[in-house]
Structure 1
């Protein structure tokens, strides 16, 4: 069974757009007919960027800085005249040591990149999303469901995404939907290099399809959910 989506006339902002998942989400919305605006602290012309510049309108910004976030969101609204969907993809992973050996700089980086970016982007996008009765989709993680060894700050930051999602859903009930996805381990070159992982890897393109589902009219009644995306059933 296949599914297709028509986002013609809709405008989406994707954060963390230059990475493997962000670029896949941009491509999926572009294929579905949306006008895609993308933002990242990485420049689109950088060797580290995986984003196709022909698919998006790009706005460079540091989403841990509220001033940058406000400028990016207003630039999208001014350019497109509306904002229908926010995809909070910006994130990172760090870890490998227990809490008593973890530096505060690592803790702060994970909270800033994984949680603060989603908080700030949601905060400034909400006035525009309320006008269009839009949707927010953020990225949590399966690891956020329980404690584990060696990556406590990462798990805490991703658990924060789930609670932020539930709060956004509750505060905007009937106006703006908010959901999140919980990948197991995303299949990226960086993750393959860093991790010895024996379970199912999840293709970024497959996760991007779930973003489309959660922003579509097919999930109109769904808000405040954390959706598992663990690989093949």
Structure 2
């Protein structure tokens, strides 16, 4: 799928699904703005992309902070002349915890990073995306569709991401397409952080009919497809990359 001359911004690009999405967009010809709160990690992503003769910049940002999000959009547009794809991918896990033991600080942080970030990204990017009939991609989760034990704050944040995606798809059509990606448990450094007394990685894998976890490559391939012209009639969907988990 050819993304030549497109500009893509990926948050959470320092590792895991975000890093792989940034790399795959670059291989299709896109210029990529790689955003992460970890400056060292996102600089490494940029370096890897540039080593393949693709164009990339690295931006350190906290996607839950309005000023940082506005700046990441402005820096991307300044560097590349516009914006075609906003991939709101950054997110954090929740250690499996009974709801009565979840602190308000934990709830607020999960909602801020996993959900408010997509609102802020859209708020500051939409004028640029409208100019180029752009695309918004939001990383949600199969947890938004089939919750798991002990993940109340995480599930709420990802369920909100799916609902926000559908709202934005309706509100921004026909100028901007908006879709969510719902990965099942994925082989990333973050995965073990979900584990708790009542939830283990082996439990997650056993509920997937394909009998395997997703990989960052699986999720990135879905992102590249949904952003492509081949998906021109797809908006408002929550694409399950789940090995059958949500059946």
TM-score by length of 2: 0.87
Residue in 2 that maps onto 1:86? 86
1:222 aligns to 2:234 (yes or no): yes
Structure 1 residue 146: deviation in Å?
4.0
Local SS of the residue matching 2:45: coil
Q: State which of 213, 217, 225 in structure 2 corresponds to 1:201.
A: 213
Query: Is the contact made by 2:5 and 2:31 (CA closer than 8 Å) also made in structure 1?
Result: yes
The equivalences for 1:65-214 within 5 A come to 65-192=65-192, 194=195, 195-196=201-202, 197-198=204-205, 199=208, 200-214=212-226
Structure 1 residue 54: deviation in Å?
4.0
Decide whether aligned partners of structure 1 residues 99 and 50 sit closer, same or farther in structure 2, where only a CA change above 3 A counts: farther
Query: Is the contact made by 1:129 and 1:176 (CA closer than 8 Å) also made in structure 2?
Result: yes
Q: CA RMSD in A?
A: 1.8
Distance 2:10 2:173 in 1: 22
Decide whether aligned partners of structure 1 residues 51 and 151 sit closer, same or farther in structure 2, where only a CA change above 3 A counts: same
Structure 1 residue 156: deviation in Å?
0.5
Unaligned runs of 5+ in 1: none
Distance 2:157 2:190 in 1: 20
Q: Deviations over 1:60-111 (max 9, x none)?
A: 1111110111111011111111100011110011132211111111111110
Query: Is the contact made by 1:94 and 1:151 (CA closer than 8 Å) also made in structure 2?
Result: yes
Local SS of the residue matching 2:97: coil
Q: Deviations over 1:179-212 (max 9, x none)?
A: 0011110111441574333332001011101111
1:9 aligns to 2:5 (yes or no): yes
Query: Is the contact made by 2:144 and 2:159 (CA closer than 8 Å) also made in structure 1?
Result: yes
Structure 1 residue 59: deviation in Å?
1.1
1:51 aligns to 2:45 (yes or no): yes
Aligned length: 227
Distance 1:205 1:146 in 2: 22
Worse-matched range after superposition: 182-191 or 153-162: 182-191
